[in-house]
């Protein structure tokens, strides 16, 4: 096992990785920006290195600076966390070239799965169902219209390099393609440096259900069940649960096996997630693969009893998986909610200083956070400041615990989305499992309109 | 003359007007980026842009003047 690793990330995920490292007796190296000099993850690391200015482009995205810190600290491996450089093939390649183990899959796989067009092609080849679509890069609006007409409206116009909803739009007619194409292409180009666009059939009333996999260097690949992440706002997940309240045992098994097939077909190593869209008839379609640890990994840990970071470290250190598919158990029900520093009504960011932080305690409650009662939440990074994870023996108990925990979660000094999470937790549609990706728009927006009348 | 100010701290992602432009109520004059979100800053009346006080990429605090409109 490694003696020392560098964590190329910040916030709760850096703190989360450091926790497992401490348990395994691995020394940790933190990195930070000027804005994060007093951050929790810096204090928790055994040693830390300043990367540069507050913006991610001046600090956490600076590959040279991170590698310099890794050399200085004599770290053996680099864990990228999620976001930032975690799915950057160039970073993974540079880590390897400079003698560090990158805790994740190979640069080639990151690159292939990072392109929505290339990943679709790879999945089609592997026999994994994909949403009907035209996967070549579309030249212009006319080309897009021709493609849309072969699939049939409504379609989703998507950026090949996209994510988080950027460069993505539902279009219902040729006229709308005309209006949407250039703007989306430009945005994709501005955000991702790649304006390639493609078109997919719109899956109506979809659920977002993803399968966690683990794969070692010997080709042993297992699936750790699913997470349902349908409750989203602007394509960003808000609440995730495991297992899904929707799919049958048969669909669950088929999705798991498809995910394993997908991972094996591309020679995947380490932890990864295959995201699927599932329609009302439980047909599932490959959406994308995340070649890293995910924000919502704790709910899988809660129902399987595994530590995914520990498994990642073991795989990266060359160990063989210590269990087979039939050993992976499923126990209870877990829900995660993301606490965002934002106005719950306008959804505007709410940076500032936390003046009071009280966390709920009790059975089945877990926190993942890297803020305290004097932390400054800056405007430079993602608004997610904490994750609340609850577990119950079944879904009903997990929901009860979520409601109770949210009512005892107090943050002052900044606004948070806790009132919105309470609305979700209390909503009848959530209780009965009516959790398509349209949930927020269908139920919460409607309620707001009623209130303003 | 009325100053249009930033509603929160963030970076100026886009400046959409220049001095001399005529603007209408609810028209976006700039887009701020804060916590990876884009926030449009709009004028709430018709007028002419007298002065733009920010540049793209610049960091502004809540209350900083984005533009002056007459």
B18-56 confidence digits (pLDDT tens)? 999 999 998 999 999 888 878 889 998 899 999 999 999
Tell if the CB–CB gap between A379 and B39 is shorter than 8 Å. no
Q: Is the peptide bond before B68 cis (omega within 30 degrees of 0)?
A: no
Would you call A292 a catalytic residue per the annotation? yes
Reading phi first (left if > 0) and then psi (alpha if -120 to 50, else beta), residue A23 is in: alpha
CB atoms within 10 A of CB B39: 20
Is A350–B8 a contact, with Cβ atoms under 8 angstroms apart?
A: yes
Give me the interface pTM, i.e. the ipTM.
0.72
- Tell me which chain A residue has its CA closest to the CA of residue B40: A348
Residue numbers of chain A with a pLDDT score lower than 70? 163-166, 446-453
Dist CA A243 CA A66 (whole Å) = 37
Coil/strand/helix, residue A352: strand
Look-up of token digits 């009848």: A428
State how beta strands A356-358 and A384-392 pair.
unpaired
Q: What pLDDT shows up at residue A146? A: 93
Distance from CA of A14 to the nearest CA of B (A): 18
Distance CA A88, CA A104 (A): 11
- Crossing angle, helix A308-316 and helix A297-304, to 10 degrees? 100
pLDDT (0 to 100) of residue A265? 96
- d(Cα A358, Cα A407) in Å, to the nearest integer? 11
Mutant choice from A349, A352, A378, A415 vs B, greatest count of B C-beta within 10 A: A349
| Start-end of H helices in A86-173 | 89-97, 107-114, 116-126, 141-151
pLDDT at residue number A451:
45
The SS3 call for residue A157 is strand
> How close are the terminal C-alpha atoms of chain B, in Å?
4
Closest alpha carbon within chain B to A383? B35
What is the model's pLDDT at position A446? 61
| A&B contacts, CB < 8 Å | 32
A341 CB neighbours in chain B (<8 A) are 35
With a CB cutoff of 8 Å and minimum separation 6, the contacts of B10 are A349, A379, B32, B33, B34, B35, B39, B59, B60
Query: For residue A344, what pLDDT is reported?
Result: 85
Triad A77, A216, A391: Cα angle to 5°: 90
Of A298, A291, A222, A287, the C-alpha closest to A257 is: A222
Looking at residue A452, its pLDDT comes to 41
For all residues of chain A together, what is the average pLDDT? 93
State the smallest CA–CA distance between residue A42 and chain B in angstroms.
20
State the Cα–Cα distance between residues A372 and A194, nearest whole angstrom: 39
Question: Measured between CB atoms, does B35 come within 8 Å of chain A?
Answer: yes
- Kindly calculate the radius of gyration of chain B based on its CA atoms and give it in whole angstroms: 11
A10, A233, A292, A338: the catalytic one is A292
- CA of A380 to nearest chain B CA: how many angstroms apart? 6
Residues A412/A352, Cβ–Cβ less than 8 Å:
no
The pLDDT value given to residue A453: 36
What single string gives the DSSP state of each residue in A180-239? HHHHHHHHHHHHHS---EEEEEPPSS-EEEEEEEEE-TTS-EEEEEEEEEEEEETTEEEE
């Amino acid at each position: 096992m490694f003696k020392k690793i560098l964590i190329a990330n910040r916030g709760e995920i850096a703190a989360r990785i450091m926790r497992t490292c401490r348990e395994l007796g691995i020394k940790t190296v933190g990195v930070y920006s000027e804005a994060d000099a007093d951050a929790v993850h810096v204090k928790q690391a055994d040693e830390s290195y300043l990367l540069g200015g507050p913006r991610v482009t001046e600090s956490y995205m600076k590959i040279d600076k991170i590698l310099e810190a890794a050399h200085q600290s004599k770290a053996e491996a680099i864990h990228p966390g999620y976001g930032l450089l975690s799915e950057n093939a160039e970073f993974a390649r540079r880590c390897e070239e400079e003698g560090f183990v990158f805790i994740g899959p190979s640069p080639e796989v990151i690159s292939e799965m990072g392109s929505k067009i290339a990943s679709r092609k790879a999945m089609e080849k592997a026999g994994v169902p994909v949403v009907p679509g035209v996967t070549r890069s579309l030249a212009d609006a006319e080309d897009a219209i021709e493609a849309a007409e072969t699939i049939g409206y409504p379609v989703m116009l998507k950026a090949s390099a996209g994510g988080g909803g950027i460069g993505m739009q539902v279009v219902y007619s040729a006229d709308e393609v005309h209006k949407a194409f250039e703007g989306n292409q430009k945005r994709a180009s501005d955000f991702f440096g790649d304006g390639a666009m493609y078109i997919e059939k719109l899956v109506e009333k979809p659920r977002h259900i993803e399968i966690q996999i683990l794969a070692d260097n010997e080709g042993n690949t297992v699936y750790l069940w699913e997470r349902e992440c349908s409750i989203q706002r602007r394509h960003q997940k808000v609440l995730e649960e495991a297992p899904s309240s929707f799919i049958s045992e048969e669909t669950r098994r088929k999705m798991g096996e498809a995910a394993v097939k997908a991972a094996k077909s591309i020679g995947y190593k380490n932890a990864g997630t295959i995201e699927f869209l599932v329609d009302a008839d439980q047909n599932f379609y490959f959406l994308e693969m995340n070649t890293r640890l995910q924000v919502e990994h704790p709910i899988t840990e809660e129902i399987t009893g595994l530590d995914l970071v520990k498994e990642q470290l073991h795989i990266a250190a060359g160990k063989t998986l210590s269990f087979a598919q039939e050993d992976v158990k499923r126990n209870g029900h877990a829900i995660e909610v993301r606490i965002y520093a934002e106005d719950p009504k306008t959804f505007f960011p709410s940076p500032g200083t936390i003046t009071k932080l009280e966390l709920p305690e009790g059975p089945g409650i877990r926190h993942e956070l890297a803020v305290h009662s004097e932390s400054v939440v800056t405007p430079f990074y993602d608004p997610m400041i904490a994750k609340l994870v609850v577990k119950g023996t079944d879904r009903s108990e997990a929901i009860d615990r979520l409601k109770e925990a949210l009512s005892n979660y107090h943050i002052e000094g900044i606004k948070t989305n806790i009132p919105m999470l309470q609305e979700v937790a209390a909503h009848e549609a959530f209780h009965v499992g009516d959790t398509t990706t349209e949930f927020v728009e269908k139920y919460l927006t409607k309620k707001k309109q009623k209130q303003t009348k | 003359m009325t100053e249009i100010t930033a509603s929160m701290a963030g970076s100026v992602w886009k400046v959409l007007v220049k001095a001399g432009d005529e603007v209408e109520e609810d028209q976006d004059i700039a887009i701020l980026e804060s916590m990876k979100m884009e926030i449009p800053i709009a004028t709430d009346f018709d007028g002419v842009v007298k002065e733009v006080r920010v540049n793209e990429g610049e960091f502004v605090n809540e209350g900083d003047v984005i533009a002056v409109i007459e």
